[in-house]
């Protein structure tokens, strides 16, 4: 069933739906079935990465679906081990071959890995790949303000999006404000905090009863009202549909304030602080 999803315009003019679909752990035939279902249900923004080893699966799901390619927004990401310029250029091409696509709508640097000192080179590769028509919009993940500032200082080009860990237990208030002030869109990874114990959270359960909605729907609606694009992953068509059904109700100021109370300084799922954490 198709849902009407609001559109967001990035600083380079590309439009994205206000909610997307995560694909981490959706691999092989099971993954392709899950992603095709998500497209059927109404998702148009699909998030993959070189390191998820499922760009091929995403490509297969696109071919199985009846939705025209130009109505989809496909994101992939450059791994840390390919941040040097020549390696990055090759990895972007390899990403496309794996998915059997001509272009990605969005391509992101997966982690800054600041100790390695190569993220500006990687950024230059993304800038060039965009000029060559391989990518429509370029962004990053897990970049702190100091990393974002360096990109713009060294290349004059600002990312369109920064995809960061964001959920009720880690609401990234300061980083979101910084993005807003600098016209960079926020995208939320693990928007449901991987559901570990969040589904039983008392505050969110209380709000969900008020609206006759599920806990997941309250959380995803909260992301939308914060101005961030959540990309929940689900392998089940029912939960995919549930997660998309968030545009027919609104959280009021009191409820938003109650949600804000849930954040904790140590609320990251796996303690992955981009200042020190590295992923290759
Ligand atoms: N840039 C980065 O560094 C980075 C890092 C992590 C993730 N990501 C991206 O962000 C996406 C989302 O994050 P995530 O996959 O880590 O976690 P998530 O979307 O917060 O949670 C996924 C988990 O929630 C369950 N779930 C989904 N909807 C549900 C619902 N309505 N009710 C109950 N359970 C539900 C799923 O199970 P079922 O499948 O069984 O429904 C799955 O176990 C990833 O898939 C990936 O694309 C990016």
Ligand 1 probe mutation, 19, 20, 24, most atoms within 8 A of CB? 24
Q: What atom in ligand 1 is closest to the CA of residue 188?
A: 10
pLDDT at 259 over 50: yes
Radius of gyration of the chain (CA): 18
In the chain, the percentage of residues whose pLDDT exceeds 70 is 99
CA distance 109 to 43: 23
pTM to 2 decimal places: 0.98
Q: 42-78: per-residue pLDDT in tens?
A: 999 999 999 999 999 999 999 999 999 999 999 999 9
Start-to-end CA span in the chain (Å): 38
47 CB within 6 A, ligand 1:
yes
Chain centre to alpha carbon of residue 100: 21
Q: What atom in ligand 1 is closest to the CA of residue 47?
A: 47
Tell me which residues are annotated as active site.
52
231 CB within 6 A, ligand 1:
yes
Q: What atom in ligand 1 is closest to the CA of residue 214?
A: 31
Q: 76-98: per-residue pLDDT in tens?
A: 999 999 999 999 999 999 999 99
Q: 128-181: per-residue pLDDT in tens?
A: 999 999 999 999 999 999 999 999 999 999 999 999 999 999 999 999 999 999
State the DSSP code for 276: T
182 CB within 6 A, ligand 1:
no
pLDDT at 188 over 70: yes
Tokens linked to 68: 């025209």
| DSSP E strand stretches across 7-110 | 7-9, 15-17, 21-22, 45-47, 73-78, 104-109
Ligand 1 probe mutation, 234, 236, 269, most atoms within 8 A of CB? 234
Residue 196: the pLDDT is: 85
């Amino acid at each position: 069933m198709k849902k009407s999803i609001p559109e967001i315009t990035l600083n380079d003019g590309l439009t994205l739906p206000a909610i997307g679909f995560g694909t981490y752990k959706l691999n092989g035939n099971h993954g392709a079935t899950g992603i095709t279902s998500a497209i059927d249900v109404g998702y148009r923004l699909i998030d993959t990465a070189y390191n998820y080893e499922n760009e091929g699966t995403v490509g297969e799901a696109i071919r199985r679906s009846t939705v025209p390619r130009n109505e989809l927004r496909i994101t992939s990401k450059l791994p840390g081990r390919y941040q040097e310029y020549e390696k990055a250029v090759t990895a972007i091409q390899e990403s496309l071959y794996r998915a059997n696509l001509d272009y990605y709508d969005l391509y992101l640097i997966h982690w800054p890995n600041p100790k390695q000192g190569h993220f500006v080179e990687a950024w230059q590769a993304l800038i060039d790949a965009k000029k060559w028509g391989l990518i429509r919009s370029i962004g990053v993940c897990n970049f702190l303000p100091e990393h974002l500032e360096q990109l713009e200082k060294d290349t004059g080009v600002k990312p369109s999006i920064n995809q960061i860990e964001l959920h009720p237990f880690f609401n990234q208030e300061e980083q979101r404000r910084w993005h807003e002030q600098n016209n960079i869109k926020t995208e939320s990874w693990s928007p449901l905090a991987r559901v570990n114990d969040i589904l039983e959270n008392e505050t969110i359960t209380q709000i969900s009863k008020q609206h006759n909605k599920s806990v997941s729907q309250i959380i995803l609606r909260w992301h939308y009202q914060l101005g961030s694009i959540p990309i929940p992953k689900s392998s089940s068509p029912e939960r995919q549909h549930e997660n998309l059904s968030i545009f027919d109700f609104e959280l009021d100021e009191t409820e938003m304030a109650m949600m804000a109370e849930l954040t904790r300084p140590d609320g990251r799922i796996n303690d992955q602080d981009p200042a020190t954490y590295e992923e290759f």
